[in-house]
Structure 1
Amino acid sequence: MGTINFVKMHGLGNDFILIDCLNQSLPEPEKFAIKYCDRRFGIGSDQLLLLYPSEVADFKMRIFNADGSEVEMCGNGIRCFAKYIWDRKLTDKEVLEVETLAGIIKPRKIGELVQVDMGKPEFSPSKIPVDVEGDRAFDLILEISGWHARINCVSMGNPHAVIFLDEEPKNFAVTKYGPLIENHPIFPKRTNVEFAFVKNPNEIVMRVWERGAGETLACGTGACATAVVSMIKGITDRKVTVHLLGGDLMIEWAEDGHVYMTGPAEEVFEGIVKVPQIG
């Protein structure tokens, strides 16, 4: 029986167990995520974030979903990750370089908020990935349980399927259609799914079904993906506010081709968990 120190954090209600692995080790993080992300029998979170040293950047972040699957990137997660580093004075840099499976991501401190350079969106179907031909996977029609969903696919370091609705998604059956689209055979690595309504050229209202986590209160990469698709389609400006269930994110697709996401990150509490042999 060992002990693991952790911090509970959230970005707009998208919540995380963050474990600092600079001075402690966590064997079998997949099994830890499955056990302790559970909201009734564990600590409770959407995802598990692990902080490691990096040979190519300032720090390295690994991300595990509540189902134990490892994923490439998490926008809300990296804001929490950066806040943890700054709050504990692990560096005096105002701009961090964080190694992820999606490449090196750069969070910047903007007052009480965190801005993240999310890099350039990827539209090539083979790199998202989505099994379709062509240069771009927009306006694909998927027949899902009798509903013909028009999806637009993009990667922000992880795969997204963006669907625009005719009204706000407040009453939309996200929990019905989300998992069916997530696990559709057209997506070899599954996908995150965004259900969005463009309120005006500067505002998007969105709910999200996250791959491996279910519906969450916010998804940073999903907000970026949705904003980018709406901008390409000419239905929003290049700078928008995305309203999620947990709060707002500001998304800008800048002239340099990079997407910049700005939003809050909060620490909830610190704790120690006794870890038996998991599994």
Structure 2
Amino acid sequence: MDLAIGTVSYGKPVMAPCLIPVEHKSTPNCINAPFMVNGECYKVTAMSFCSPHGVVFTGNVDSVDVRETGQLLGTHSLFPKGASIVFAQVLDGETIKVRIWQQNKGETGFSAEAVCIAGVTAMMLHKVLTDRVKVCAGNQEFGVEWNRETNSVCLIRHEDFPEA
């Protein structure tokens, strides 16, 4: 993806379980739903712009075995077509750090869709305090802005991301 233009619109996040797809029936959306993997419970929020993703917040993304845990969650039976998994850590009231396990690729330093999904999830779960968040992915930083009135999401190159 070329972010030389500064901002890329991603449109509206897909939250309906049947459209992601994710097998989830207890609430209208799959938000912080428990996924059991090897006897451990992970709270997963499922979302998509183009492809299925799950976001898991953790206290320290550097301590996560992204390859193993990402694959186990991404191929979990609750994701019938599989999913990419984003592990996210809150750094402060406007910044998160992510590590990404991308379906069919393994751990990757950056995926624009994964960064947007992590940013929206952080805002939706009130992990950050604003409707825009700085996302550190690999050795890059991006801004994610979510306009809740229009339900539209933009990915912003860090250099073009206005300070709060």
Same fold (TM over 0.5): yes
Query: Counterparts in 2 of 1:148-187, with a 5 A limit?
Result: 148-167=41-60, 169-187=61-79
Cα distance between partner residues in 2 of 1:246 and 1:199: 15
Matched, 1:256 2:150: yes
Residue matched to 1:221: 113
Of 141, 146, 154, the match for 2:39: 146
- Residue-by-residue CA offset, 1:237-265 (whole Å, 9 max, x unaligned): 1111100113111110024221000228x
Cα distance between partner residues in 2 of 1:214 and 1:230: 23
Of 137, 156, 160, the match for 2:30: 137
Query: Counterparts in 2 of 1:30-179, with a 5 A limit?
Result: 77=1, 79=2, 109=5, 114-133=6-25, 134-167=27-60, 169-179=61-71
Q: Alpha-carbon deviation of 1:198?
A: 1.0
Q: Name the aligned partner's letter for residue 143 of structure 2.
A: M
Q: Alpha-carbon deviation of 1:199?
A: 1.2
Q: Alpha-carbon deviation of 1:171?
A: 2.4
Cα distance between partner residues in 2 of 1:131 and 1:146: 19
Task: Give the TM-score taking structure 2 as reference length.
Answer: 0.88
Aligned length: 155
Q: Name the aligned partner's letter for residue 138 of structure 1.
A: I
Q: Please list every run of 5 or more consecutive structure 2 residues that lacks an aligned counterpart in the other structure.
A: 159-164
Matched, 1:210 2:112: no
Residue matched to 1:195: 87
State the superposition RMSD in angstroms: 1.5
* Identity %, equivalent residues: 25
Task: Give the TM-score taking structure 1 as reference length.
Answer: 0.53
